[in-house]
Amino acid sequence: MKKTSHLTKVIQVCLLLIVLMSVLLPFYWTLKTSLSPERDVRSTPMQWVPSKLFIENYRNIFLSSSKAIGTAYTFKRSLINSLAIAITSTFVTVFMGTLAAYAITRLKVRFGNIMTFFVLLTQMLPPVLLVIPLYMIGSNLSLLNTKRILVMSYTALSLPLCIWILRGYFKTLPEEIENSALVDGCSRVQSLFLIVLPMSSPALFTAGLFVFIASWNEFLFALMFSSDLVAKTLTVAISEMVGRFRTDFGLMATSGILGSLPPLIFVTFFQRYLVSGITGGAVKE
């Protein structure tokens, strides 16, 4: 039995190492490429360690100006656009999802469960089906190539999942606390913002994180609805770095590293809220 148990642990450790290497190795290679001179990137055989630390790609991105328009400046502007769009979409979606989830959970809306099911059912639609209708609506309303149409699109796409997460968590909160507040003179709105939301921070962080990552990584709508630097996002800018005759792999790797930092930072700092927010509504229904 002891030999079998020891062998099982060895196999588990080996499998864990394989999974860990499959995740960390591409990230290391991208980081190494971003810090390597171009001759190292194109050299054969491949070099696992840069011959010298090369930070010119990062300097080009952060210090580029509009007078020297190029790939680095395009990425810098698109990075700012992505941050603005993702943060705005997150706040709008979480705010609207909170109101909808609370109404369904606490106000005993007729057919609330059926409405929730159909709201979640919209997540089954592939986004590509919505591109042409949304493009026509944006064209008629003069919203193309603006951040507003991307914010509205991302909000509509992420709202069903946000409502589902918050609804499940609200159902785990004891109604007696809210009833006591109502007896003491609080309105429903005051009860929501002063009592329910402070108790629901794990679910709010979880929903916000999902919305932020979905908005940050979205490519199809951003490609179709933006044509220049006014609303071009990070994913579109990175895709345009592949040239017809030449590709700057160092700058592309630098863009990939910088683009992966915001979601990585959010997950690192809010991991505790993420786990409790996902599992909060898993038991009590």
pLDDT in tens, 185-215: 888 888 888 888 888 888 888 888 889 989 9
Asked if residue 176 lies in contact with residue 187, where contact means CB atoms within 8 angstroms, the answer is no
Task: Determine what percent of the chain is predicted with pLDDT higher than 70.
Answer: 88
Does the structure show a pLDDT above 60 at 281? Answer: no
Q: Note the pLDDT tens digit of each residue in 216-233.
A: 999 999 999 988 888 889
- What is the arithmetic mean of pLDDT over 261-280? 69
Compute CA distances 276 → 11, 204, 207, whole Å: 30, 11, 12
Beta bridge partners of 142: none
CB-count exposure of residue 152 (10 Å: 0-12, 13-18, 19+): middle
Global confidence as pTM: 0.81
Asked if residue 93 lies in contact with residue 158, where contact means CB atoms within 8 angstroms, the answer is yes
Q: What are phi and psi of 95, to 5 degrees?
A: -65, -50
The pLDDT score that the predictor gives to residue 116 is 74
Compute CA distances 118 → 169, 226, 228, whole Å: 19, 30, 36
The pLDDT score that the predictor gives to residue 89 is 95
Strands (E), the chain: none
Nearest 10 degrees: CA dihedral of 157, 162, 165, 167? -120
- What is the arithmetic mean of pLDDT over 79-98? 93
Q: Token digits for 271?
A: 């991991």
Non-local (6+) Cβ contacts of 147 within 8 A are 81, 84, 85, 88, 230, 231
